[in-house]
Chain A
Amino acid sequence: MEKHIFEISNLNIYYHDFHAVKNVSVAIPGNAITAIIGASGCGKSSFLRSMNRMNDFIPASKTTGQILFHGVNIHDPLVSEVSLRRRVGMVFQKPNPFPFSIFDNVAYGLKIQNIKDKTLISERVEESLKRAFLWDEVKDRLKKSALGLSGGQQQRLCIARALAIYPDALLLDEPCSSLDPLATAKIEELLQKLKKEINIIIVTHNLQQARRISEYVGFFNAGELMDFGPTKELFEKSEESMAGRYINGIFG
């Protein structure tokens, strides 16, 4: 496997006149958790959403620059955004299970690929729920609505749903921001296990979380990627640098 999963060069994202991401170039290492930190509105979510082209849906958004995913330009006309999203899964800030049964939530990604084999689907559902540490809690109520689950369970269901189609990378956009500390701890434990199987990029507001779970950290400020490097090094930065000041709570 190559060393980097995403290689991004000169990425700019605009919404109307607003320049949300400014000239970002970075290579994101594979087989690790990369955390993206920074203040609200600094462009970190836009950056994340550019990697599976979810920004395409925002009206009047414009992206320039190059994003290579395993060496392939994701904006190449020959690359469909649908197949890209099947390889780069995403988990959102607010748990967003479909108002279907737990089983149908996990099976959704398979069904839209026209997979009809019932045995395969139910095996994959079970396997994905196990991978997302949710199986024991829901195995007796797979036919019940997913909306009856707690927030943390819903978020793990969304992770299971993403895992079911065997993506290669998982993008998480502040997945724990609406969860209590116990549910957060469970998700962190889950991510620690998953990073051996899948590349993970997580946007987080929680610096301690970034420190606990990530191998690499990128720090955004006002649309620019100020710093990128191994988590240990970044968290030992002195207060001279902007990232250091942010981490130590001296600035914003």
Chain B
Amino acid sequence: MKTDKPTAVFLMLALFSFSFAVAMLLILLASIINDGFSRLTWQFLTQFPSRNPEMAGILSSWVGSFYLMILTGIIAVPLGVGAAIYFEKYAKKSRFNYLMEINIGTLAGVPSIIYGLLGLALFVRIMSLGRSLLAGALTLALLILPIIIIASREAIRNVPSFIQDGALALGATRLQVIRSIIMPLSFPGILTGVILALARAIVETAPLIAIGALTYIAFLPEGILSPFTTLPIQIFNWISRPQVLFHRNAAAAIMVLISITFFLSIVAVLLRDYFNQKNNT
């Protein structure tokens, strides 16, 4: 195939942009691995934080992150999917609903620290939940709610209307169509959106610092009202220490955190492909 000159120039530019992005990512990863790899041991994963950098581990923070993610999902998923169903299937085209739509789009772009301040005022103070897992999860749930709503609406809208018509023509009620047609067919899209939203929640730091999640926790959370810490908070704490050995710990914790988000992204893609294939063959 012959390539003319403008095409060749465009291709070069595109290739450059691509390699630039990949190169930056690789440099970042390389420097983190260089700093942290030696600290990444089994002991590091199973020890509580300590004043002695070589004894310190991330047990309480990864367990905290894990609990927080689960609790956030339990709160945000039903609300987000419910709101998406309302918008797509029940809401009339009114000025109010139009405003709501714009609002949700805007909320997805609000800086996360703002959610943290809201969480501090509403959940920690007014609702007196303290600096608990539940307060953190509620705050993060608010943060990812717009993402889940937008992804779920997209998935619901992609269910072809002629299939819904088929069900309605057989005498299905609107609720039955939602339950038996729309939910199963939009499930892969919703699931992908939820996993990516949770991956975002697990790396969030600012809102949790704003609500005052503790940095030094030498025990595992016992319930949803226990104080907690998370990986990003632990990383933030170690980085702000002057000792180089703590920076090594931070790098190792970053490796763990990146592995978790990488794993979540892969799970999201695999599940989506699996369900798409299942629905189409």
A residues in contact (CB < 8 Å) with B: 52, 54, 57, 59, 82-86, 89-90, 92, 94, 96-99, 108-109, 111-113, 145, 147-148, 158, 161-162, 165
Does A148 contact B281, Cβ atoms closer than 8 Å?
A: yes
Task: Let me know if A92 and B162 touch, CB within 8 A.
Answer: yes
Interface SS of chain B: helix, strand, loop or mixed? Answer: helix
User: Contact check: which of B160, B169, B181 meets A85 at CB < 8 Å?
Assistant: B169
Q: Considering only CB atoms and an 8 Å cut-off, how many residues of chain B contact the other chain? A: 20
Q: What separation, in Å, do the CA atoms of A133 and B181 have in the docked complex?
A: 26
B-chain residues with CB within 8 Å of residue A52 when the two chains form the complex: 169
Q: How many CB-defined contacts (below 8 Å) exist between A and B?
A: 67
Indicate if the CB atoms of B171 and A83 lie closer than 8 Å: yes
Is B83 interfacial (CB-CB < 8 Å)?
no
Q: Is the beta-carbon distance between A147 and B281 smaller than 8 angstroms?
A: yes
Contact A108 B180 (CB under 8 A): yes
- Determine whether the beta carbon of A162 is less than 8 Å from that of B169: yes
CB distance A108 to B167 under 8 Å? yes
Check B280 against A147 for contact (C-beta < 8 Å): yes
Smallest distance from the beta carbon of B128 to chain A beta carbons, Å?
46
Write the chain B residue with the least CB distance to A171: B169
**A59-B93, A112-B176, A112-B180 known; A94+B162 contact, CB < 8 A:** yes
B162 to chain A minimum Cβ distance, whole angstroms, is 4
Known contacts A59-B93, A96-B163; decide if A145 and B281 are in contact (CB<8 Å).
yes
Contacts of B279 in A (CB 8 A): 99
> With contacts A92-B162, A99-B279, A145-B281 known, what are 6 further pairs, Cβ within 8 A?
A59-B93, A85-B170, A92-B166, A96-B165, A98-B167, A113-B171
The reply to whether the CB of B173 lies closer than 8 angstroms to some CB of chain A is: yes
Contact status of A90 and B176, CB under 8 A, knowing A96-B162, A98-B181, A147-B281: no
The closest CB in chain B to the CB of A144 belongs to B281
B244 in contact (CB, < 8 A): no
With both chains docked as a complex, state the minimum distance between the C-beta of A163 and any C-beta of chain B, in angstroms: 11
| Identity of the chain B residue whose Cβ is nearest the Cβ of A54 in the assembled complex | B169
B173: A residues at CB distance < 8 A? 82, 112
User: Counting CB contacts under 8 A, is B168 at the interface?
Assistant: yes
Identify the closest chain B residue to A60 (Cβ).
B93
Bound Cα distance from A161 to B171, whole angstroms = 12
Q: Say yes or no: is B26 at the interface (Cβ < 8 Å to chain A).
A: no
Q: Which B residue's beta carbon lies closest to that of A161?
A: B170
Q: 0/1 per residue, B155-187, Cβ < 8 Å to A?
A: 000001011011111111100100011000100
Chain A residues with Cβ under 8 A from B185's Cβ?
99
- CB closest residue in chain A, given B180: A112
Bound Cα distance A98, B159 (Å): 11
Decide: B163 and A165 in contact? CB cutoff 8 A.
Answer: no
The CA-CA distance from A66 to B6 in the complex, in Å, is: 66
Complex: chain A residue closest to B280, CB-CB: A147
Are B280 and A85 in contact, with the CB atoms below 8 A?
no
Minimum CB distance partner of A110 in chain B:
B170
- Provide the residues of chain B in CB contact with A99, threshold 8 Å: 163, 185, 279-280
State the 6 A-B residue pairs at the shortest beta-carbon distance, nearest first: A86-B171, A90-B169, A109-B170, A85-B171, A96-B166, A96-B162
Name the residue among B163, B171, B173, B180 with the largest chain A CB count within 10 angstroms.
B171
CB distance from A101 to the nearest CB of B (A): 11
Q: Give Cα A92–Cα B164 distance, bound, in whole angstroms.
A: 12
| Closest Cβ–Cβ distance, residue B201 to chain A (whole Å) | 31
B24 to chain A, nearest CB (A): 41
Quote the shortest CB–CB distance from B117 to chain A (angstroms). 41
Q: Which residue of B lies closest to A97 (CB)?
A: B166
What residues of chain B lie closer than 8 Å to A86, measured between beta carbons?
170-171
Q: Complex: how many Å from CA A165 to CA B167? A: 12
